[in-house]
Structure 1
Amino acid sequence: MSSEICEGRGGLVDRNKLPTAPIDGLADNNPGWRSLMSMDESQARLQAFQYAARAMLKLRDHNVTIVEGLATQGQQSSLSHIGLGEKSTLLRAFKDAGLIGALSWGLNAGSQSFEFPRDGNLVLGGYDDASIDGNVNYYDIAVPNLINDRPCPLQISLLGLNITVENGDGSEPDEQNYLQRSGKFPVCVEPYDNLFRFPSNYIDQLKRHISPRLAATDKGPVPESSYPDIYNLEPGLVYNTSAKFRVTMKVSLENGLTVTIPHHEMVRPLRGLDNQGVPQVEPDYREVAVYATQAPGDAVVLGKAFLSQVYLFVD
């Protein structure tokens, strides 16, 4: 995990109200911890993780004490996130407590679609057999796990990335290939990202791809300043509701896996928080499920919009 990724999840933590814990224990479980704690000389500031705390994770039948790192910088999200990597302190605490038999997990990401929402589930120590339907594809955990300078153990080779944009009535579809290279291209599967993350050239291509479908009064993606009454936790490409277009995506991966992301996962009404932290829907805007800014390390990231169509098991 890089400093940029940490800061994308930090903010709104008052460490004075939390019990402290020694940070050395985190270094034992995460070899990259000390680099996250170090001074970033290029920006002359401390990295996002500066503190740690002992936390009691309360389950239905058990309580487990774990060590948490606190991301005190950043503005993208104030939500808690659990780490399920190869050296996960959470999984280790569960296994040591006898609650799970293996350091594995399975994720049914559900759907965050506005039209067709669907609950998901997370199974620690195994997987949910009822969530598996169809073929099973196997991929190795990446070692080393870097894509450019972004750590990513859940890597997979991308063979094709095709996006289709069409009018609101489904007419005049325009399909474009965004992978302008031959051979295998490593991408990152990342469950904590809601949207897709693309390099800047992919984002620019998508804007140009959508542009012919906009009305004369629509000038393209609107800035966050256009909707000041709602806090967009993870801002994608936001357009006025008057922009009636449809977007679908086809992701072709190694081992013959092809995943189609339907329109209702790719475009949805803008959602966020009001000034009291209450979830809100802003009906005047719609959001494409692609982050508006380039991905850290320029790595293509397949987030929960992608995972809405597959089941992920990591062992």
Structure 2
Amino acid sequence: MRTAIVSIALPFLAAARSQCDTPPLTLTWTNTTVTQDGLGVARGIELSIGTPRQIFAFRPITALNNTRINNVLNCGSAANNSCVGELGGTFDPSKSESYAVSMKSQWNGTMAEEEDGKKAYVYLNDEVGFQGGGSVEGFPLVMSGGGGAQSGLSLGTNSSFLRAAVAGGVAPSEVFGLWSGSRGVDHPRDGQLFVGGYDRARVGPTASFSTFPVAQWSLERACPLQVTITDLRYAGLPLLPNGTNKLIACIEPAIHRLVFPPEIAEKFANYTSHNPTAHPGRLEYDVTKRPTDVLTITLSNGYSTGISNEELFAPLRTHDENGRYAIINDRVVEAFVADTRGVDPADVDTMLGGLFLTFNYLIVDYAKGEFKLASAVSAAAEDVDPDPTVVCTPSNTPSTSPWPPTSPKSSTSGGGGSKNGGMIVGAVVGSVAAVALLGSAGFLLFRRRGRVKEMLLRETYARPHMDVAKQPLEMMANEVHELPTSRQSSFRKLEGWMRQ
């Protein structure tokens, strides 16, 4: 009798757990408590790390291929709420039983990554928990020492996070859909990240997607989501420098502001009647003299979007003593345009940050070498019925990584046992009928767990960079794919803008 039941269960299990039957991994971008006393809050995508769990609020970042966290020692102690909140949580290795250190050469993350020579980095693996209950063991992480920006969830062209999510069975593909939500004071909105698809309900009902080619990735210019701005206006007045008809920009959700070259920042200040004597160093204004117009951005293929006045200007906010992003002066408003006046133009990368993605829904498919933009639905979550839509092409291509990979040599703190690999822990997607059959076929799942653990190591082990330059010529026409070289790496500059 058992043999008959197992023969029925096998095809059912194969279908239920096939790659593209997995629903998209849904992660909310919202205010998250990240301090032990419950007072420190950061806005980001909530994930847990370690055993027992330590909570983080991650900013999604396309300039990174490895997920980065900050050491608790960066803040002196976990009791430093302001610091911990601003960094989106900090990690204490001594409190995780599943923490495992690796030599960089034997680590299963992405090897090609920009590093700051002034900082110390620890390459590690640990259990990562996702919203909704699933988790993956042996997840590759980089821990930074010596200060830094908020924890970054890697969404680069060779993202170890995206690979691990697929290999661990929590997402059907590495395609992701992103909407940043709103940080407006009057109508804040939670954002969302879908891995393996997108939320069709967040795309305007009459909107159509515009497609752009992914740009060439390099350590010097980690800017995969590159666009060409052909028109930029505030209150209908042109902001592009005289004699210039295009400006190369990076779409980067890790920062919120819009970052433009000094000449554009100067024009914006003039158009908004900024008073440099009363408000030096930043584009701030007395609330009684708040600018009243909107900013419009037009891209090379005619795609245009408007940044509303409500989102472009807001009461002055910063991180308070508990790490909360709070209003500190309601008599002053700030513009979410970085004040780059006085900065060397060579040190400024033009960026369309999270503010741009408040008004635009983003879908990225690195495997196809393209990303898409469409007008976003910005209504509150309770007014939108989510419509998760899978974007997935089944892949039977064997990994090009060496197999078996060299397992990371690990050590743990506090006497806990080390854990490597990538066994998926959590609910198995399936129907009620499948659950009824699992009781008689339990021994099959025991064997499968071992294979899943091996699979994550195989899939995340040092995969070579995708050559996005090999794209159809029609996709590359009239687009610039490489930003000019700079004296500094783009990520180091990005860290500076992330603090603004």
TM-score by length of 1: 0.75
2:285 equivalent to 1:239: yes
Q: Which residue of 2 aligns with 1:202?
A: 264
- Partner residue, 1:36: 115
Q: Which secondary structure state, in structure 2, belongs to the residue aligned with residue 299 of structure 1? A: coil
User: What's 1:229 paired with?
Assistant: none
1:160-309 matches, within 5 Å, as 160-164=231-235, 175-211=237-273, 219-222=277-280, 237-282=283-328, 283-293=330-340, 297-309=347-359
- Name the SS of the counterpart of 1:117 in structure 2: coil
Matched residues in 1 for 2:357 and 2:331: separation? 27
2:211 equivalent in structure 1? 138
Q: Deviations over 1:125-154 (max 9, x none)?
A: 1111111120210011112458xx432000
Q: Secondary structure at the match of 1:270?
A: strand
Q: Any residues of structure 2 matched to 1:89-100 within 5 Å, and which?
A: 89-100=160-171
Deviation at 1:208, TM superposition (A): 2.7
Q: What is the CA–CA distance in structure 2 between the aligned matches of 1:198 and 1:74, rounded to whole Å?
A: 26
1:247 Cα deviation (Å)? 4.0
Report the Cα offset of residue 192 of structure 1.
1.0
Separation in 2 of the partners of 1:241 and 1:206? 17
Distance in 2 (alpha carbons) for counterparts of 1:30 and 1:97: 16
- Preserved CA contact (<8 Å) 2:231 2:245: no
Q: CA deviation at 1:252?
A: 0.6
Q: Find the counterpart in structure 1 of residue 141 from structure 2.
A: 68
Unaligned runs of 5+ in 2: 1-62, 76-89, 366-500
Kept in 2: contact 1:207–1:220 (CA 8 A): no
Match of 2:399 in 1: none
Amino acid at match of 1:208: N
| 2: CA distance, partners of 1:290 / 1:263 | 12
The CA deviation string for residues 237-276 of structure 1, in whole angstroms up to 9 with x for no partner, is 3333343322421101022201111101100012222223
Q: CA deviation at 1:183?
A: 4.5
Identity within the alignment, % = 23
Q: Which residue number in structure 1 is paired with residue 179 of structure 2?
A: 108
| Matches of 1:296 and 1:55, distance apart in 2 | 39
- Residue of structure 1 in register with 2:159 after alignment: 88
The root-mean-square deviation of aligned C-alpha atoms, in Å, is 3.0
The answer to whether the 8 A contact 2:109-2:140 is kept is no
8 Å contact 1:160–1:253 — kept in the other structure?
yes
C-alpha distance in structure 1 between counterparts of 2:272 and 2:190, whole Å = 30
**Contact 2:253-2:357 at 8 Å conserved across structures:** yes
Aligned counterpart in structure 2 of residue 22 of structure 1, from 83, 98, 102? 102
SS in 2 for 1:56: strand
Structure-2 separation of matches of 1:26 and 1:239: 52
Q: Please state which structure has a larger fraction of its residues in strand.
A: 1
Tell me the SS of whatever aligns to 1:246.
coil
Distance 1:67 1:193, change over 3 A: same
Unpaired segments ≥5 residues, structure 1: 40-45, 165-173, 224-235
Aligned residues: 272
Greater C-alpha Rg: 2
> Structure 1 residues 259 and 97 mapped into 2: Cα distance closer, same or farther (>3 Å)?
same
Letter in 2 for 1:281: I
Pair 72,220 (structure 1): closer, same or farther in 2 beyond 3 Å:
farther
**Deviation at 1:206?**
2.2
Higher relative contact order (CA 8 A, sep 6+): 2
For 1:227, the equivalent position in structure 2 comes to: none
